[in-house]
Amino acid sequence: MGLSIFVFFRSSRIYVVDTAKIPRAPSLHKVVQPTDILQKTGLAYPHTSHCLGSGDIMVSCLGDKEGNATGNGFLLLDSDFNVKGRWEKPGHSPLFGYDFWYQPRHNTMISSSWGAPAAFSKGFNLQHVSDGLYGRHLYVYSWPDGELKQTLDLGNAGLLPLETRFLHDPSKDTGFVGSALSSNMVRFFKTTDGAWSHEVAISVTPLKVRNWILPEMPGLISDFLISLDDRYLYFVNWFHGDVRQYNIEDPSKPVLTGQVWVGGLLQKGSDVVSVSEEGAESQFSVPVIKGNRLRGGPQMIQLSLDGKRLYVTNSLFSVWDQQFYGPDFVKKGSHMLQIDVNTEQGGLTINPNFFVDFGTEPEGPALAHEMRYPGGDCTSDIWI
């Protein structure tokens, strides 16, 4: 029996689904109730899950039951999905939680920091960043014993660090994290003295705009991934609307090799316009796919195992979806696109024949978020 974990952090439930019968009839295997998690760990708002070599499952949690970030940490489930407890040592919890990735050969796990659920669950407020309700740190733990060894302060270049990925090659001591609000890809790496450091590897320039809440619009890097051969890095700008491909054969010097626009706040027909230094207004051309104008912006991505098909959904978080893209987006639901990848020279092309409309689902309209392959994929597989 193949099992997948579906995590819903708004309800703090963890759903375990039998995927052996996918695609036709997946069935519910077990529900890990929030009361059980709270009683044994004090944790709530589960987010990212990874399987461990021990057979346990580890899940990052974003806060306590009231949505305070002070209650976050890492939940451990056994192979039968019973709550075992917390992974990190007492007193070694991060200030904020979100994503994590471990690299066993370097005895290291690194986690990122979104913010307090009590803040982001009500929509984004820039003042909350100044108030300290959002993160800007990476947390470096010893693996597998859960001791917090370092806290890397990314500063203003790393506001709201979200997805965290090591290179897939388990011998490599480098990886990346996407900082959403700063719109930078930050590379982290081990130094000669065995400590960990970081640097900005890619910057997305904010655009001067009119008819928006701020005079400048960040790209808002909400997701990224690394191809299984560690050759290419892909990321999305949820506000600007573009998907990018970079060659990272030299991880310290990424090279842009592909870029396409699949939505965003600046697409033609939008009220928001980009303004040049000379005052000229412009917007990006976004194609119509199978008669559908693309809604929202690119948000989560997943790559086929051969690296040739990049799939894109467009819902970040329903409250944020409505705040930035309006109630019509939520009412119509989201969609999934396919981008064809040139894996030899690099390059991205939108597939004009692929469009999955979640607005027409029987229980819809639905807001599609993360994608997973039942047998493992670029954002779930970790090698020992």
pLDDT 10s digits, 313-367: 999 999 999 999 999 999 999 999 999 999 999 999 999 999 999 998 888 899 9
- Whether residue 158 sits in one domain with residue 12: no
Q: Is 198 within a domain?
A: yes
pLDDT tens digits for range 114-152: 999 999 999 999 999 999 999 999 999 999 999 999 999
State how far the Cα of 207 lies from the Cα of 23, in Å rounded to an integer: 42
Q: Is 199 within a domain?
A: yes
- Whether residue 195 sits in one domain with residue 324: yes
- Only one residue has tokens 């939680």, namely 97
- Whether residue 218 sits in one domain with residue 69: no
Mean pLDDT, the chain, integer = 93
pLDDT at 1: 42
The answer on pLDDT for 157 being more than 80 is yes
4-13, 115-124, 166-175, 265-274: the lowest-pLDDT one: 4-13
- Whether residue 212 sits in one domain with residue 67: no
The answer on pLDDT for 177 being more than 70 is yes
User: Containing H/E element for 122?
Assistant: none
Domain end among 84, 111, 126: 84
Domain end among 38, 55, 84: 84
- Whether residue 284 sits in one domain with residue 312: yes
The answer on pLDDT for 13 being more than 80 is no
- Whether residue 20 sits in one domain with residue 103: no
**Tokens read off for 288:** 């119509």
pLDDT at 363: 81
- Whether residue 153 sits in one domain with residue 98: yes
- Residue 10 banded pLDDT, cuts 50, 70, 90: low
Which domain CATH number covers 162?
2.130.10
> Structural domain tally of the chain?
2
Q: Is 356 within a domain?
A: yes
The answer on pLDDT for 244 being more than 80 is yes
The answer on pLDDT for 95 being more than 90 is yes
The answer on pLDDT for 3 being more than 90 is no
- Whether residue 148 sits in one domain with residue 12: no
The answer on pLDDT for 232 being more than 90 is yes
pLDDT at 103: 96
Range of the domain at 324: 85-360
| Better-scored residue on pLDDT, 10 or 16 | 16
- Residue 208 banded pLDDT, cuts 50, 70, 90: very high
Q: Is 378 within a domain?
A: no
- Whether residue 89 sits in one domain with residue 6: no
- Whether residue 135 sits in one domain with residue 223: yes
Q: Is 33 within a domain?
A: yes
Q: Is 173 within a domain?
A: yes
pLDDT at 101: 97
pLDDT at 19: 63
- Residue 30 banded pLDDT, cuts 50, 70, 90: confident
State how far the Cα of 4 lies from the Cα of 17, in Å rounded to an integer: 5
Which residues, other chains included, contact 136 with Cβ-Cβ below 8 Å and sequence gap of 6+? 113, 153, 154, 155, 156, 158, 159, 160, 161, 179
- Whether residue 73 sits in one domain with residue 163: no
Q: Is 365 within a domain?
A: no
Domain end among 59, 84, 109: 84
The answer on pLDDT for 97 being more than 90 is yes
Q: Is 189 within a domain?
A: yes
- Whether residue 207 sits in one domain with residue 282: yes
How many helices, marked H, and strands, marked E, lie in the chain? 5, 27
Helices (H), 157-250: none
Report the pLDDT averaged over residues 222-234. 98
- Residue 29 banded pLDDT, cuts 50, 70, 90: confident
pLDDT at 38: 93
- Only one residue has tokens 């310290």, namely 252
